Structure 1
Amino acid sequence: MPILLLLCCSIFTFFVLYAPQPLLMVFATQFGVSVASSGSLMSITMLPLAIAPIFYGLLFAHHNALHILKYAMLMLAATCIIFVYVPNFELLLLTRFLQGLILPAILTALTSYIGQQYQGKALHKNMTRYIASTIIGGYFGRMLAANFASFYSWESFYYVIATALTVLAITINVHLFEKNTHPISSPREYLKPLKEPTLLRLYLAVFCMFFCFSALLNYLPFILSTQFSIIDSRLIGWIYSGYFVGAILSLTTPLLKRHLYNNWLFLTVIFSVYSGSIIVLDTTSISIFVSAFTLFCACMFMIHATAAPLANVLSTAPVSVTNGAYVSFYYTGGALGSYFPGLVIEHLGYHAFIINLFVLCLCGLLLIHKNYKQGISTTLG
């Protein structure tokens, strides 16, 4: 199956995941709910993403991944239509939870197919393309949703997504997949990498990283509204461009690594900048805020791009076990970060919100720094 088709599937899947984020203020007003409650539209979707990859990994050991991909995308398209017509916020949450169950099936099927069909340099090249597609989907999902809400209606964007998902699903040829003959793994084996303290600290640092990232991007519309009086969905969508610019800046990671002699030192430095950018976000200048936000996003992508392969180097467990645990910690941080900071900003204000993120980011920095000190006399770096 053409890699371009797989990448399109990934992009529109991430449209579904992130489209509600710039619209949270719209949903809060439309359904008469609080800031924290509207933020739960993201956290309730990420919660299954923290658990489901483990079970889907086992499922795909005995089933055709493209077959699952095809029907999961059709189901996701159906939930997009349902999302438009639900009459109350509770059913909106239920629909997002169903999407959260379907999304990891699609993402696991995509990576399973790429991992099975490509080897060596082709595997690395196409996995890099897949990661790039997730960034593109995350950015344009937010930006287009905001612009559709401003120029047309947020519902119209969901019609576009549903149509695209349906067309892509129809074009998938399920007969191109060769069945995986590897023996099925026990779910208990997914916990084995956690027995290594160095790896556990890395996972916990990733949890802290994505907790802060999800919190800021989830409540960005409310921050822009309350701190800078920006309520136009179109302007909010363009400010999310810092996410995309940050992703481009993160391409300098290989160049920066040339000046730092191991991965732990690099992660320590980037985590320090990540923490500092959070403090700078507590400003009254929109230009400074956007600059700090762009730097914040760049640091997140640099940490993510370094931590994911480093986990595979450190772990002696099977690749699926290592990456399953990584994804679980990553999206658990995202699920919690999408909700609990909303309570802080709602009841204690923006300054308390920033302090909360800064403290948690410092925890991640301390975990990484401890690995750095431990790895100075070893090859772990």
Structure 2
Amino acid sequence: MNKRYIFIVSFVTIMTFSALYAPQPLLPIFSNEFSVTEDKSSLLITITLIPLAIAPLFYGYILEKFSAKKLLLVATGLLAFSELIIYFASDFSLILLARLFQGLFIPAILTALMTYISLISSLDSVQRIMSYYIASTIMGGFFGRFIAGLISSIFGWRYVFLFLSMSLIFSSVLIFKLKKDEKVKVNKINLSVFKDVLSKKVFLYYYFSIFCVFFVFAALLNALPFRMKEISTNIGEFKTGVMYSGYMLGIVASLNSTKIVKIFKGSVRNAALAGATLYLVSLLILSIESSLIFFIGMFFFCGGMFTIHSLVSGFLNKLADKHKGVVNGLYVSFYYLGGSIGSFLPILIYRHYGWYVFLITLGCLILLAKFFIKRC
């Protein structure tokens, strides 16, 4: 894959993830403007992640027979249109509905992107290219939250979604310039393909581990804007968006994933376990009631999470010698299934039992992730 295609894939990925996570720092604003509880405003994230957990299985199946580029074009255009709906919406239920449909469009884009990378990249370069992709997902997650806080604080929250719509339309134009993906050797696809992939323990245990990892990540990032209000009532949406700056360390971890593996003598398993340990330690830092310490702790938190994510996604793509669309679809499904549950259930724990019980719950999930990684 040449530099031009890498840029296009990266830009589309960044804007897709920006669309996914932009509402997060704005959750307290939605609570106030539409007079809904914190739990209900959190559904703006949860309701998008739920389809993300299921739809990739369908898209992974479809991509065994159809062009990834065509799927990218259609899904990106529909995502841009859904952002306009939110821009004009005057009812919270309509915004929730638009976010639900976004949960169908976004996994189509992500699964198609991952499959496109694996199809047009050589076996020797797929790990490196996938690291660029993961870095772009991280940048998108940060950029979406940061730009949402910035635009909202200056122009109002609605203009966040107008900006996203225009950016996604531009993404569609760029996708036209991508090289047509090579025709995949078509095998007869049936449900036994999923069983075949899941029957391999290394795939199954890594899928379980990434479920736990993103459960924790989604939980803490959804709780973050409310925790900031708890620490200081003077923290607005822009400062809340800045709190997600820890994402930048995730980019460093992703782009250096191959170097990280070399440090652990080529063992992806041991490198992932080290990332999980850092992930766990970060919760201790985040337990301190200080916005400055919290800001620092987010770098450790994001660094641990994205070390695991970049290593596992690249490793599974390297292992997959067939049915790459299904392998990637299952990975995205387990990832977002954990996120959809984590973005809501732990918020209830936080609301009823407080921040420290919330962190202990997340710590238990990280330990469970380490258990699965050790069995790989």
Same-fold status (TM-score > 0.5): yes
In structure 2, what is the Cα distance between the partners aligned to 1:223 and 1:207? 24
Q: Tell me by how many angstroms 1:151 deviates.
A: 1.2
Greater shift after overlay, 187-196 or 231-240? 187-196
Q: Could you say if the C-alpha distance between residues 169 and 255 of structure 1 is closer, same or farther in structure 2, counting changes exceeding 3 Å?
A: closer
Partner of 1:282: 287
In structure 2, what is the Cα distance between the partners aligned to 1:175 and 1:323? 20
Which of 251, 271, 274 is the matching residue for 1:269? 274
Partner of 2:224: 220
The question of 1:190 aligning with 2:204 is answered no
Q: Tell me by how many angstroms 1:97 deviates.
A: 0.7
Q: Tell me by how many angstroms 1:5 deviates.
A: 2.7
Q: Could you say if the C-alpha distance between residues 9 and 249 of structure 1 is closer, same or farther in structure 2, counting changes exceeding 3 Å?
A: closer
Contact 2:134/2:254 (8 A) holds in 1: no
The one-letter amino acid paired with 1:286 is S
Which of 322, 325, 341 is the matching residue for 1:320? 325
Contact 1:260/1:266 (8 A) holds in 2: yes
The one-letter amino acid paired with 2:283 is I
SS of the counterpart of 2:264? coil
Q: Could you say if the C-alpha distance between residues 250 and 69 of structure 1 is closer, same or farther in structure 2, counting changes exceeding 3 Å?
A: closer
1:213-362 correspondence to structure 2 within 5 Å: 213-249=217-253, 251=255, 253-261=257-265, 262-312=267-317, 318-362=323-367
The one-letter amino acid paired with 2:194 is Y
In structure 1, what is the Cα distance between the partners aligned to 2:216 and 2:208? 13
Contact 2:127/2:315 (8 A) holds in 1: no
TM-score (norm 1): 0.88
Q: Could you say if the C-alpha distance between residues 346 and 274 of structure 1 is closer, same or farther in structure 2, counting changes exceeding 3 Å?
A: same
The one-letter amino acid paired with 1:222 is F
Partner of 1:374: none
State how many pairs are aligned.
Answer: 371
In structure 2, what is the Cα distance between the partners aligned to 1:65 and 1:318? 14
Q: Tell me by how many angstroms 1:319 deviates.
A: 3.1
The one-letter amino acid paired with 1:103 is I
Partner of 1:40: 43
TM-score (norm 2): 0.90
Structure 1: gaps of 5 or more residues: 372-379
SS of the counterpart of 2:96? helix
Contact 1:64/1:174 (8 A) holds in 2: no
Greater shift after overlay, 145-154 or 191-200? 191-200
Q: Could you say if the C-alpha distance between residues 74 and 264 of structure 1 is closer, same or farther in structure 2, counting changes exceeding 3 Å?
A: closer
Deviations 1:90-109 (A, max 9, x none): 22111101001011112223
In structure 2, what is the Cα distance between the partners aligned to 1:368 and 1:172? 36
1:1-381 correspondence to structure 2 within 5 Å: 2-3=4-5, 4-121=7-124, 123-173=126-176, 176-177=179-180, 178-249=182-253, 251=255, 253-261=257-265, 262-312=267-317, 318-369=323-374, 371=375
Q: Tell me by how many angstroms 1:259 deviates.
A: 4.4
Contact 1:73/1:169 (8 A) holds in 2: yes
Two-structure CA RMSD over aligned residues (Å): 2.5
Q: Could you say if the C-alpha distance between residues 174 and 190 of structure 1 is closer, same or farther in structure 2, counting changes exceeding 3 Å?
A: farther
Contact 1:193/1:316 (8 A) holds in 2: no
The one-letter amino acid paired with 1:297 is C
Deviations 1:75-94 (A, max 9, x none): 11110010122222222111
Q: Tell me by how many angstroms 1:235 deviates.
A: 0.8
The one-letter amino acid paired with 1:128 is S
Q: Tell me by how many angstroms 1:44 deviates.
A: 1.2
SS of the counterpart of 1:186? coil
Q: Could you say if the C-alpha distance between residues 268 and 66 of structure 1 is closer, same or farther in structure 2, counting changes exceeding 3 Å?
A: closer
Deviations 1:222-262 (A, max 9, x none): 01111233431111111111122343255555455444343
Contact 2:320/2:327 (8 A) holds in 1: yes
In structure 2, what is the Cα distance between the partners aligned to 1:115 and 1:251? 17
In structure 2, what is the Cα distance between the partners aligned to 1:313 and 1:62? 21
Q: Could you say if the C-alpha distance between residues 59 and 90 of structure 1 is closer, same or farther in structure 2, counting changes exceeding 3 Å?
A: same
In structure 1, what is the Cα distance between the partners aligned to 2:65 and 2:37? 44
In structure 2, what is the Cα distance between the partners aligned to 1:228 and 1:191? 50
